[in-house]
Structure 1
Amino acid sequence: MGIRRKAREAALQFLFQEDFKLEENGHSRENLQERFAGFCTMYQVNRQARPYALTLLTGVVESRQQVDDLIGQAASNWRLSRLAATDRNILRLAGWEMMQDNDVPDQVAINEAVEIAKRFGSKESPSFINGVLDAVKTVLRS
């Protein structure tokens, strides 16, 4: 497993954990770096994966409304709040990567999200994630 996959999985696990600790306001920007450092220590996150995981987390937290709006457009029949926390956070991470138009091609972000969904999601998660992210790609690139 590559470093970026480990980073994506660590970011997913952190967001999942935070979903159950936070209020309705969503993920907090306050002390994000310190909270993630504590998470990394507690769960022995690979040291090489930490910087990219923190980049993902910072991006998702700071752009959460934009990412959620994008996913909402793509998943028109689904409210984000009604999705399983795992699926919602996988979509947020991959959606943010796709929005950034950085060195991660859309198809790589989608494939990584599907593989992570196979590991952490339900039986239906991979195909659902694939369909929504394909629609995200269409919205972004049109």
Structure 2
Amino acid sequence: MGLRRKSREFALQFLFSHDFQGRSRAPEDVDRDVELFCRFFDVSEKSQGYGKELIHGICAHGDAIDTLLAEHSHNWRVERMSLVDRNILRIAVYEMQHCDQAPAQVAINEALEIAKRYSIGESVAFINGILDAVQASLTTE
């Protein structure tokens, strides 16, 4: 497993926990929570760099990301999605919008691989459909 995948998985695990606990997205709170998470769960130093970039970016742009997800997830409110699926989607959308080093198709493929590991089988198609729609909308802008 590559370093970027490990970073994405670290980000997913943190965001899941953060979301589950209803924690604040304020930068100072996220900084503190990330440091505690890394210490308690012994997150490798190598995977922290990109993982923290994802976490901070998603928390900073969370409302815009959730709005974009809501626009492309027909019959599903973002709040109703499973915590795992919702955060996998957030990571991929953030990468598609804000990370030039990760092409959209790579972000989608990584999201699907992570979904296979952390979610249920039906979620892979669900995530793929939403991310394909998001990617199409971003390329037409």
Provide TM-score, normalisation by structure 2: 0.93
Q: Which residue of 2 aligns with 1:123?
A: 121
Secondary structure of 1:103's match?
Answer: coil
Secondary structure of 1:77's match?
Answer: coil
Task: Give distance in 1, aligned partners of 2:27 and 2:77.
Answer: 23
Aligned counterpart for 2:36 among listed residues 35, 38, 48: 38
4+ residue runs of structure 1 moved beyond 3 angstroms? none
Amino acid at match of 1:37: E
Q: Which residue of 1 aligns with 2:15?
A: 15
Task: Kindly indicate whether residue 91 of structure 2 is the aligned counterpart of residue 100 of structure 1.
Answer: no
RMSD: 1.3
**Structure 1: gaps (5+ residues):** none
Tell me the matched-pair count: 140
Superposition pairs for residues 1-142 of structure 1, below 5 Å? Answer: 1-22=1-22, 27-142=25-140
Cα drift, residue 34 of structure 1: 2.4
Cα drift, residue 101 of structure 1: 4.8
Q: Which shows bigger deviation, 112-121 or 64-73?
A: 64-73
Cα drift, residue 29 of structure 1: 2.7
Cα drift, residue 76 of structure 1: 2.6
Task: Give distance in 2, aligned partners of 1:101 and 1:32.
Answer: 20
Cα drift, residue 128 of structure 1: 0.9
Aligned identity (percent) is 44
Identify, as 1 or 2, the structure richer in helix: 2
Query: Deviation per CA, 1:46-84, whole angstroms, max 9, x where unpaired?
Result: 211101001000110000111111111111321000000
Cα drift, residue 140 of structure 1: 0.7
**Structure 2: gaps (5+ residues):** none
Q: Quick check: 1:14–1:36 contact (8 Å CA) kept in 2?
A: yes
